[in-house]
């Protein structure tokens, strides 16, 4: 084994594994917090486990994992219970109730840490926030063949095993209770009435959140825990429309964040020529933020950029159809072409001058309109499309007057909007039922379909 | 499709079930619900006749939704006994279905229409067991029943309001219950959905199922329902439409809201003509 | 670590003889607490309490960037005048991100707050670790913003804190009318021409100002507590907005100054947690003791209604021809025992073994309860459109709640009805 690989396995692999496992376990359970709109419960719990840890330490005097774990999980559940109590009996808005409970508990934890426990424990405020990823070291054997022995594996840092167990627990929890979690997140009332008590399932979910928080907390710090409970699930929510795929995608995102965040933190500065590493858990959080931003912008169905493009397209289509329509009307008056300036007036400049200009370009590109010496006219293809638009407009006008009982001079604006309506399934223009005559309320012919 | 081709779950759904005891599907005795000192429901007594369509009517804030939720134990009762076929809710749960108000859930939730309908069968699937293909087939029969067969795989946010309400209805059908509580199923739906709901309600009645609906539109009460329960914190009147749905009782329920009363008396007059 | 030379006694500090510096810090903390309490009331009523948590966390990258810029320009990088504007910029960017996420994507506000809070802070942590590696002098103080430190506060810093806090208080007073309208009913406010978005923006600006002002004293993790706890504590005592704001300001001011005082007085007592815990004490006192909105009162009221309803039922059952077995007339469990206790206390029932019967006084009480019930019923039917909001189940007599003239009418109607009933 080369020294480089040995160094990597010794110094970088344990924190990378621990960080990734922490990300994965938080992200899987985070899906249900995000869907139930109680993401901030994760924030609250991850703050308030601190006094639980400190009190457990003060009571037992050891840093043994089990009492600390019990203390922190108890503090987590206490938080949930107190918030519920305040919400129900003191009628305090849930956000404020959460804020009160976790800030007081967190303050208590910090104070206890400063006053007493801090002297004996290597728990300090810094490690609460940032974790101890950087401090994890493993001394692996120098030969590959010796890796699988009990002795070697026992020396792997404890956090790696703890977090691996956390991933397993969360994985089993989510897979086994997938159906139950889905129904309780979607419709707690129905869940209860079908024999899956919402309070029981919520309690279970919170207990798992508390356990995951505690297990991750020590290794990666509370900030990364909050980020991982929320960001991967929220990113996956932007990318998928089915709960099962959302859970899988969030897991993939969490794994990618964990590995790449650690690598960027540990090696990124070196690649840039600096010799000190950056905070690994901080960097994982940053990567999670970047992934989330990207998915919010570019998610295929729900991304903001996609929505924006869709809206622009819509505006342009309307402007183009208005252009074709006004050229058709001009033809009916005997003008075979219109000056560009007149067109802008005729279409009312809907969507601003820019939209009109772009729409004209697009109509020319599609071969529906030709431009010569500052005047535009319809091509043969354009003629057909324009007739269909005008037909739709006049059909709507007839419909509104005949069936809707509107006055003929009040229907133009409504028809102006309705003429653009399309059936989403067949992409065809929507047409109202045929009127009795082929003449519209303004005595103009309705072009045949 | 003949009954023989139907999947097993759906057959019993359409066939109806014979075992109806003489006990009332829902009997409520001096039920009080109070938030702080203000009662929402006060000493409510009610016995639902079996196999009928029952409308719960009353002004805003009269406790109509609360009545349903308290019967199902979704809000705590200060006092009172609720029995389903003479048994407590716990024992009768599988025979009772509930359709909440449409706004009660997040319609952007990542599930398909079929997933939501399948939730109606969770009660008979049981803890830790997966949703099998048989259940999914039964659920899609219910979706077809409300005219949404083609939209099974749609994400629910891409359905119109009326379609969403029909998904809820299909979910209720999938529950195969003998008693349904529906919280304003007709609120804000299009004409097609309204027809679909009425059809389903009538089919349910023909199978001997009891349906209790919170209903807002006084005009359609006599048209859609057999029984009515007029409620304003207390039960003002209850009984068959012809007996209980009178302008006097409506006045006692709604007080002096003249426009409403005008509408109501019109509806009552129509009901009298019809009967 | 530098040992404090001589910690002044509480009395000396309170009488403003504890050294000029301590006095200034104390006054600054007081102003900060008042400002946070008053601003927090409106944040709570607009349901934006936890946005303040994101604001606090989001200041960290701003502080780091400001530090780096100032350092590159050769300015004294640790001065608050440099760092606080940086903090404010970071916080405002965080707020804008939250707003964008809730408006432009399908994500809900809670996820947006949590994501901004953690990611902004993560960026700050990475920057801090970079700064640590850069070998720039004077960077030790940056971390003190996370947990806060009054001990190192200079007089100038305290003056700055007090000044910003004072400014926020003045701003709230100026905007009070608009804030009240928007907090009470934003649709109505919009309908009479108040620009809700502008008022909300102003409110968020105030939240940022207070958070930034409190960074050094309380720290960015706990500043949210100063904006949430005093309003929530004050809410137990009053329903009126003016009083609520005043009370919340008083609680905030008291918590901040007591906390700062304790922190100055005691060794190893960081100011932020001390302030938050004092505020927490105020909260718990209100929660337990407040007569109308407290948790204690809530639980009692809840039990009270149930006991009253069951007691009425029991009385009417006992009026039927007996003998009566306890189990057949009273509910089981705790409520049943309470009902029995209450009725026996009032001398309305007497029990022999497991049998109970009404006393004469109980008979009279049962008649009264029956009358009360009928009157309420009559009232509900007679005034159906307004009645439900007036009915009070636990009032001893309907006259305590309803105008006696109306009660008299109802009684007359009841009498007429019963005579008609008996006549028929």
pLDDT grade for A172, boundaries at 50, 70 and 90: very high
A219 and A325 co-located in one domain: no
Q: Is A422 helix (H, G, I), strand (E, B) or coil?
A: strand
Tell me the percentage of chain A whose pLDDT exceeds 90. 36
Interchain contact B96–A (C-beta under 8 A): yes
Put simply, whether A36 touches C (Cβ < 8 Å) is no
Return the structure tokens found at C151: 């001990």
Instruction: Encode pLDDT of A30-59 as tens digits.
Output: 999 999 999 999 899 988 888 988 888 888
Which among C106, C298, C388 is the nearest to B233, CB-wise? C388
Chain A partners within 8 Å of B102 (Cβ): none
Between strands B210-214 and B179-183, the pairing is parallel
The percentage of residues in chain C with a pLDDT greater than 70, rounded to a whole number, is 90
Task: Please indicate if any CB of chain A lies within 8 Å of the CB of C342.
Answer: no
Which residue positions in chain B have pLDDT lower than 70? 1-22, 256-268, 270-275
Average pLDDT, chain C: 86
For residue C365 the two structure tokens come to 């009480």
| Distance of alpha carbon B48 from alpha carbon B42, whole angstroms | 18
> Chain C residues with CB inside 8 Å of B62's CB?
388
Cβ-based contacts of C55 with chain A (< 8 Å): none
Structurally, chain A folds into a number of domains equal to 2
Is the domain spanning C17-285 CATH 3.20.20.210? The answer is no
Chain C residues touching residue A285 (CB < 8 angstroms)? 118-119, 121-123, 125-126
Please report, for the domain that includes residue A123, its CATH number: 1.10.3470.10
pLDDT band at A346 (very low <50, low <70, confident <90, very high): low
Are A220 and A350 in a shared domain? no
B104 with A195: Cβ contact below 8 A: no
Tokens found for residue B261: 């009363």
Whether B119 and A194 lie within 8 Å, measured CB to CB: yes
**Which of A187, A212, A229 is the last residue before a domain boundary?**
A229
Residues A56 and A205 in one domain: yes
Q: Pick from B98, B110, B155: which is nearest to A190 by CB?
A: B98
pLDDT-based confidence at residue C154 (cuts at 50, 70, 90): confident
**Is C300 near chain A, with CB under 8 Å?**
no
Interface probe, candidates A50, A84, A223, chain C, greatest C C-beta count within 10 A:
A223
| Cross-chain residue pair B127–A185, CB shorter than 8 Å | no
| Common-topology check for domains C17-285 and C294-416 | no
Select from B111, B119, B125 the Cβ nearest to the Cβ of A190.
B119
- Among residues of chain C, what percentage have pLDDT more than 90? 40
Q: How does pLDDT run across A312-342, given as a tens digit for each residue?
A: 888 888 888 888 888 888 888 888 888 877 7
The H or E element that residue B27 is part of is strand B26-35
Q: Chain A partners of C231 at a C-beta cutoff of 8 Å?
A: 96
Residue A232 near residue A42 (C-beta atoms within 8 A): no
pLDDT band at A200 (very low <50, low <70, confident <90, very high): very high
**CB-based contact B213:B56 (threshold 8 Å):** yes
SS3 C124: helix
List the beta bridge partners of residue B229: B56, B238
Task: List the strands of the sheet with C355-358, edge to edge.
Answer: C324-325, C355-358, C349-352
Cβ(A30)–Cβ(A230) below 8 Å: yes
Cα C204 to Cα C406: distance, rounded to the nearest angstrom: 49
Tokens of A211: 């356990």
- Cis amide bond preceding C323, omega within 30: yes
- Judging contacts by C-beta atoms under 8 Å, the chain C residues touching residue A89 are 295, 298-299, 302
On the question of pLDDT at A178 being above 90, the answer is yes
Query: Chain C closest CA to A159's CA: distance in Å?
Result: 21
Q: How far is CA A329 from the centre of its chain?
A: 47
Where in the sequence is the domain holding A347, given as residue range(s)?
315-430
| C273-289: pLDDT as tens digits | 999 999 999 999 999 88
pLDDT value of residue A351: 46
Chains that touch B (3 or more CB pairs under 8 A): A, C
**Span A240-256, average pLDDT:** 97
In a domain, A195, yes or no: yes
Which is more confident, A278 or C230? C230
Question: Domain locations in chain C?
Answer: 17-285, 294-416
Give the CATH number of the domain where residue A333 resides: 1.10.10.10
The answer to whether residues A208 and A330 belong to one domain is no
- Choose the final residue of a domain: A211, A229, A247: A229
pLDDT of residue C211: 94
Question: Of C47, C123, C146, which has the smallest distance from its Cβ to A93's Cβ?
Answer: C47
> What residues of chain B lie within 8 A of the CB of C386, using their CB?
255
Q: What is the DSSP letter of C193?
A: T
Contact (CB<8Å) A193/B93: yes
Kindly report the nearest CA distance between residue A434 and chain C, in angstroms. 40
Mind listing the pLDDT tens digit for each residue in C296-346? 888 888 888 888 888 888 888 888 887 888 888 888 888 889 999 999 999
Tell me which of A229, A247, A269 is where a domain ends.
Answer: A229
Banded pLDDT at C175 (limits 50, 70, 90): very high
The domain at C294-416 falls in which architecture?
Orthogonal Bundle (1.10)
Q: Note whether residue A444 is domain-resident.
A: no
Q: What is each CA distance from C213 to A353, C23, C168, C220, in whole angstroms? A: 47, 18, 10, 10
Residue A190 and residue A69 share a domain: yes
CB proximity A182 to C under 8 Å: no
Mean pLDDT across A208-235: 91
What confidence tier does A198 reach under pLDDT thresholds 50, 70, 90? very high
pTM of the model: 0.87
Q: What is the pLDDT of residues A145-170, one digit of tens each?
A: 777 788 888 888 888 998 999 999 99
Of residues A390, A383, A392, the one with CA closest to residue A430: A392
User: Using a CB-CB distance cutoff of 8 angstroms, which residues of chain C are in contact with residue B34?
Assistant: 305-306, 309, 393
Q: What is the chain A residue with the closest CA to C121? A: A223
Sheet holding A375-378, edge to edge: A338-339, A375-378, A369-372
Task: Identify all chain B residues contacting A241, using CB atoms and an 8 Å cutoff.
Answer: 110, 155
Closest CB to A98: pick one of C50, C107, C294.
C50
Interchain proximity B109–A186, CB inside 8 Å: yes
* Cβ atoms C62, C70 nearer than 8 A: no
Q: Has residue C88 got a pLDDT over 70?
A: yes
Cβ-defined contacts of C75-80 (< 8 Å, 24+): C77/C136, C77/C138, C78/C138, C78/C141, C80/C156, C80/C157, C80/C160, C80/C216
Query: C381 contacts in B (CB within 8 Å)?
Result: 232, 236, 252
Structure tokens, C331: 């509910």
Whether C349 contacts C315, CB under 8 Å: no
pLDDT tens digits along C26-41: 899 999 999 999 999 9
Q: Which residue of B has its CA nearest to C395?
A: B37
A248 lies in some domain: no
Is the confidence at residue C395, as pLDDT, over 90?
no
Stretch 346-365 of chain C: residues touching chain B, C-beta under 8 Å: none
Interface with chain C: mutation pick from A50, A99, A280, highest number of C CBs within 10 Å: A99
């Amino acid at each position: 084994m080369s020294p480089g690989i040995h160094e990597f396995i010794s110094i970088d692999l344990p924190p990378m594994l621990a960080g990734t496992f922490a990300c994965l376990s938080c992200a899987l359970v985070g899906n249900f917090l995000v869907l139930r709109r109680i993401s901030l419960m994760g924030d609250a719990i991850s703050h308030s486990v601190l006094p639980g840890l400190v009190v457990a330490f003060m009571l037992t005097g050891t840093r043994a994992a089990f009492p600390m774990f019990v203390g922190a999980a108890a503090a987590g559940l206490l938080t949930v219970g107190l918030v519920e109590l305040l919400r129900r009996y003191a009628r305090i808005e849930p956000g404020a109730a959460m804020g009160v409970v976790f800030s007081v508990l967190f303050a208590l934890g910090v104070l206890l840490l400063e006053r007493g426990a801090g002297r004996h424990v290597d728990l300090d405020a810094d490690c609460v926030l940032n974790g101890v990823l950087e401090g994890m070291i493993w001394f692996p054997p120098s030969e590959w063949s010796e890796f699988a022995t009990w002795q070697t594996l026992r020396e792997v840092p404890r956090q790696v095993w703890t977090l691996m167990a956390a991933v397993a627990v969360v994985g089993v929890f989510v897979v086994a209770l997938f159906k139950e979690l889905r129904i309780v997140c979607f419709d707690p009332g129905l869940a209860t009435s079908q024999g899956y008590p919402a309070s029981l399932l919520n309690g279970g979910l919170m207990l798992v959140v508390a356990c995951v928080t505690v297990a991750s907390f020590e290794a990666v710090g509370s900030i990364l825990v909050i980020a991982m409970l929320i960001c991967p699930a929220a990113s996956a929510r932007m990318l998928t429309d089915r709960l099962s795929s959302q859970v899988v995608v969030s897991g993939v995102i969490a794994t990618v964040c964990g590995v790449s965040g650690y690598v960027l933190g540990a090696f990124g500065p070196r690649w840039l020529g600096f010799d000190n590493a950056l905070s690994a858990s901080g960097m994982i959080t940053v990567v999670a933020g970047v992934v989330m931003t990207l998915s919010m912008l570019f998610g295929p169905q729900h991304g903001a950029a996609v929505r924006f493009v869709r809206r622009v397209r819509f505006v342009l289509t309307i402007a183009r159809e208005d252009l074709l329509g006004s050229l058709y009307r001009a033809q009916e008056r005997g003008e075979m072409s219109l000056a560009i300036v007149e067109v802008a007036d005729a279409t009312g400049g809907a969507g601003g001058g820019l939209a009109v200009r772009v729409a004209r370009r697009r109509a020319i590109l599609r071969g529906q309109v030709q431009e010569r010496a500052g005047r535009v006219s319809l091509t043969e293809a354009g003629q057909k499309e324009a007739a269909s638009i005008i037909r739709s407009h006049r059909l709507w006008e007839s419909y509104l007057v005949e069936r809707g009982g509107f006055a003929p001079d009040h229907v133009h604006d409504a028809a102006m909007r309705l003429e653009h309506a399309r059936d989403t399934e067949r992409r065809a223009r929507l047409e109202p039922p045929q009127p009795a005559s082929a003449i519209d309320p303004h005595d103009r012919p309705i072009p045949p379909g | 499709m003949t009954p023989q081709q139907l999947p097993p779950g759906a057959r019993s759904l359409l066939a109806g079930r014979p075992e109806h005891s003489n006990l009332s599907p829902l009997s409520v005795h001096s039920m009080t619900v109070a938030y702080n000192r203000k009662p929402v429901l006060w000493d409510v007594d009610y016995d639902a006749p079996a196999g009928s369509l029952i409308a719960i009517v009353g002004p805003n804030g009269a406790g109509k939704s609360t009545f349903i939720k308290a019967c199902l134990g979704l809000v705590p009762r200060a006092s009172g006994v609720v029995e389903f076929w003479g048994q407590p809710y716990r024992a009768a749960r599988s025979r009772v279905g509930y359709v909440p108000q449409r706004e009660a859930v997040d319609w952007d939730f990542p599930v398909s229409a079929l997933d939501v309908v399948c939730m109606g069968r969770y009660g008979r699937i049981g803890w830790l067991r997966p949703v099998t293909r048989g259940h999914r087939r039964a659920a899609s029969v219910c979706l077809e029943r409300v005219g949404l067969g083609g939209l099974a795989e749609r994400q629910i946010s891409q359905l119109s309001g009326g379609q969403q309400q029909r998904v809820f209805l299909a979910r209720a059908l999938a529950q195969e219950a003998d008693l349904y509580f529906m919280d304003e199923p007709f609120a804000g739906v299009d004409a097609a959905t309204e027809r679909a709901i009425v059809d389903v309600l009538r089919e349910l009645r023909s199978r001997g199922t009891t349906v209790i609906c919170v209903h807002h539109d006084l005009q359609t009460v006599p048209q859609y329902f057999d029984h009515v329960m007029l409620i304003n914190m207390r039960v003002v009147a209850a009984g068959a439409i012809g007996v209980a749905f009178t302008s006097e009782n409506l006045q006692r329920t709604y007080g002096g809201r003249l426009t409403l009363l005008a509408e109501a008396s019109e509806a009552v007059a129509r009901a009298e003509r019809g009967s | 670590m530098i040992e404090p030379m001589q910690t002044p006694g509480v009395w000396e500090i309170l009488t403003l003889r504890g050294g000029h510096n301590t006095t200034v810090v104390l006054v600054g903390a007081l102003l900060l607490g008042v400002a946070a309490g008053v601003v927090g009331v409106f944040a709570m009523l607009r349901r934006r309490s936890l946005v303040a948590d994101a604001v606090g966390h989001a200041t960290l990258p701003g502080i780091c960037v400001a530090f780096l810029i100032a350092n590159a320009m050769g300015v004294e990088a640790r001065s608050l005048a440099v760092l606080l504007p940086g903090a404010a910029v970071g916080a405002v960017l965080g707020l804008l991100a939250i707003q964008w996420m809730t408006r432009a994507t399908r994500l809900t506000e809670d996820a947006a707050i949590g994501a901004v809070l953690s990611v902004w802070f993560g960026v700050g942590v990475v920057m801090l670790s970079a700064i640590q590696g850069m070998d720039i002098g004077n960077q030790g103080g940056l971390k003190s913003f996370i947990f806060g430190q009054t001990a190192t506060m200079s007089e100038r810093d305290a003056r700055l804190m007090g000044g910003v806090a004072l400014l926020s208080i003045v701003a709230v007073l100026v905007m009070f009318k608009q804030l009240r309208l928007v907090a009470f009913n934003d649709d109505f406010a919009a309908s009479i021409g108040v620009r809700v978005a502008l008022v909300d923006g102003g409110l968020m600006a105030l939240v940022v100002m207070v958070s930034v002002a409190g960074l050094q004293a309380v720290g960015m993790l706990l500043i949210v507590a100063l904006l949430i706890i005093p309003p929530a504590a004050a809410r137990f005592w009053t329903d009126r907005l003016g009083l609520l704001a005043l009370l919340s300001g008083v609680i905030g001011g008291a918590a901040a100054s007591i906390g700062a005082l304790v922190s100055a007085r005691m060794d190893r007592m960081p100011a932020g947690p001390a302030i938050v815990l004092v505020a927490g004490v105020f909260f718990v006192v209100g929660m337990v003791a407040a007569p109308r909105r407290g948790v204690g009162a809530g639980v009692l009221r809840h039990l009270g209604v149930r006991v009253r309803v069951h007691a009425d039922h029991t009385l009417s059952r006992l009026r039927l021809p007996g003998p009566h077995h306890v189990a057949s007339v009273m509910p089981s469990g705790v409520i049943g025992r309470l009902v029995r206790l209450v009725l026996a206390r009032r001398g309305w029932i007497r029990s022999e073994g497991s049998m109970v019967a009404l006393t004469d006084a109980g008979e009279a009480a049962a008649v009264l309860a029956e009358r009360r019930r009928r009157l309420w019923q009559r009232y509900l039917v007679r005034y159906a459109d307004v009645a439900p909001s007036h009915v009070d189940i636990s009032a001893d007599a309907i006259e305590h709640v309803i105008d006696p003239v109306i009660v008299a009418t109802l009684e007359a109607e009841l009498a007429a009805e019963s005579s008609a009933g008996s006549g028929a």
